[in-house]
Amino acid sequence: MGNTYLEYLKNHLTLALLLLFVFSLSFTQNPFVSAKSHSLIFNESNAYNHISSQLDFGFRVPGTTAHNNCADWIYNQIQTYVDEVDIHDFSIQKESQPSYYCQNILGKINTNKSKIVILGAHWDSRNVAEKDTYNQSQPIPGANDGGSGVGVLIELSRVFSLYKDNLDCQIWFLFLDAEDQGYSRGMYGLEYWDWSEGSKKFVEDIEEFYDSKSEKIDSFILIDMVGGTDLQFIRETNSDAILHNQIFREGRKLGYNSAFPFNPTEMAVIDDHIAFRDYGVPVIDLIIDFVNGEWDYHHTHSDNLDNIDPTSLKIIGQTIESYIKSNFIVGLPIWGYYVAVFSIGILVTLLIVYFIQKKKIKKKEKK
């Protein structure tokens, strides 16, 4: 019986060693699964500096020199990191108003992959300050509303360019124009414009940018007003519930419970994600409560660098980085790391039991 039991243990030890060998091969092919390589490299200072650079151009309102210069700057920034940059040109002309030239800017990495994850943000700034008590007809700086999303996206393009060979998807960095000129409190940003004009135009032409027969858009993640103090995201009710839960869970996993609360405020927001939702893509709008929330500079002249918090940029940047690394990697997913640790525990236990039993059997044989 003793020898039979030892053979039983030997068989299980062999199986455990085989499993460990398979895991080790996966680790070699996929560095994301190690705790060290899953460390996050998003740099909030870079994102903050990108916001500052946008504000240096002035008010990024369609039809202005500042708008054109900022578009060129975004193009030059992302082409450093991505495989391909596409410009989506379009014009908007309302009733008797002049025609405005606009452009969406699209950077892509891993264009050989069939699955696509889109990270989006709008880059225009609002032409009026209807929520302020003075100079309501004047444009706002748009540090948070516009600038923060762009700053985060450019930094994320740098981050994912370093890891693109380990990702099993394309990532699109989509900078959307003409989002913030709609009607609010009796004022248009630009006369008769609707909200989210740029995303509507892009989705109208989206099949110019991918092959719907061989490629599939997995999700659209919109980043809007993410750099203000006291960052706390809402549950945006036009967003996909599964995607919301996944990203909020990722944020809380990193310890950002305040920014990603268990019972967030619920709001329906008209934003750039709506056009993608209507196209049939799972979407999320990562946005704050800009009506009753702690950050109350929305559409005012105080939406400036003084009211940007680098910690908030770090929270959203690291959360998106971690979400992508946890869900879109080649080979073994992150959970495989924990399975491997568990397997090592079983192996050690079997080894201990094996040698204890072997020692006991030897003692009996001597007797």
Two tokens, residue 309: 């918090």
Q: Kindly provide the b/e burial profile for residues 304-328, where b requires at least 16 CB atoms within 10 angstroms of the residue's own CB.
A: beebbbbebbbbbbbbbbbbbbbbb
Looking at residue 231, its pLDDT comes to 98
CA distance linking residue 332 with residue 89, whole number of Å: 40
As separate numbers, helices (DSSP H) first and strands (DSSP E) second, the chain gives: 9, 10
Alpha-carbon dihedral of residues 146, 148, 154, 157, nearest 10 degrees? -110
Ordered by start, the domain boundaries in the chain are: 2-30+337-366, 45-327
Q: Does residue 314 carry a pLDDT above 80?
A: yes
Q: Which bin fits 204, alpha (ψ -120 to 50), beta or left (φ > 0)?
A: alpha
**In angstroms, rounded to a whole number, what is the distance separating the alpha carbons of residues 316 and 231?**
9
30 pLDDT above the threshold of 50 = no
Average pLDDT (259-265) is 98
Residue with tokens 């996206």: 153
Residues of the chain by 3-state class (helix, strand, coil), percent to 5: 45, 15, 40
Of 180 and 341, the structure prediction assigns the larger pLDDT to 180
Counting every residue, how long is the chain? 367
Q: How confident is the model at residue 3 (pLDDT cuts 50, 70, 90)?
A: low
**How far from 277 is each of 283, 284, 289, CA to CA, in Å?**
6, 9, 21
Residues of the chain above pLDDT 70, percent: 82
Joined together, the tokens standing for residue 204 give 């109208």
The tokens for 103 are: 């452009």
What residue type is 161 in one-letter code?
A: S
Tokens of 159: 């981050």
pLDDT beyond 80 at 301:
yes
Average pLDDT (240-266) is 98
Burial class of residue 207 (count of CB atoms within 10 Å of its CB; 0-12, 13-18, 19+)? exposed
C-alpha to C-alpha distance for 143 and 244, rounded to whole angstroms? 25
Please state, rounded to an integer, the average pLDDT across all residues of the chain.
90
List all residues 6 or more positions away from 174 whose beta carbon is below 8 Å from its beta carbon. 104, 105, 106, 118, 119, 120, 121, 202
Strands 216-223 vs 84-93: parallel, antiparallel or unpaired: unpaired
CATH number of 45-327: 3.40.630.10
Question: What's the pLDDT tens digit per position in 122-170?
Answer: 999 999 999 999 999 999 999 999 999 999 999 999 999 999 999 999 9
Q: What is the tens place of the pLDDT at every residue in 53-91?
A: 999 999 999 999 999 999 999 999 999 999 999 999 999
Whole-prediction pTM: 0.83
The C-alpha angle 54, 56, 60, rounded to 5 degrees, equals: 55
